[in-house]
Structure 1
Amino acid sequence: MKTDLTDPRAVYNALQSLASELETRRFAVRLRTTKGRAPHLIVINPEAPVLTENVLVAPDSEGAWSYWFPWPERIALVTDVGYAADRIENVLAEVGR
């Protein structure tokens, strides 16, 4: 499914949706919108602050907008916020979570 996020506000809204979902899962999040840089979400596990990652929004090679880890690995389509949060939670979970 293709989602048009060429509007910077749409990218911000996609990141904000993910941030809200991650907050319900007890992660700390910061949405960064620095001039000259793409907006990104900083996700922190407050139980183990070393477990921190950035999340970006960008299209894949076919134009489908997705959440991405910076290494780059696609997390999920922006239309699947719950699945994206599941994947991020798996990466940032401390032992026993």
Structure 2
Amino acid sequence: MRIAEVVGRVTLSRAHPRLRGARFPIVLPMTLAALRDGDSSRGDDVVAYDRLGVGLGDLIGLSEGGEAANPFGKEKAPIDAYCACLLDAISF
């Protein structure tokens, strides 16, 4: 799991039936320097699946790869990244 910042959203006109009712925020994974020191460096942008209701500027826990499909159980869903949690604060 990585920590990412929400920077935008994607709007779909049509979606896969398993993905209806969800949002798709655009997030930027944060480096350790960005989290600790406020550095502006970020990773590549990622479109994530969200049912938590994240907003612009929120920090989230981003699950990627095979783990991103775990919330769907045995029913498969075509996603590569999932908003696993909404972070209130980070301390080192």
Give the TM interval when normalised to the shorter protein: under 0.3
What is the TM-score normalised by the length of structure 2?
A: 0.27
Question: Greater share of helix residues, 1 or 2?
Answer: 1
RCO (CA 8 Å, sep 6+): is it higher in 1 or 2? 2
Task: State which structure, 1 or 2, has the greater radius of gyration over its C-alpha atoms.
Answer: 2
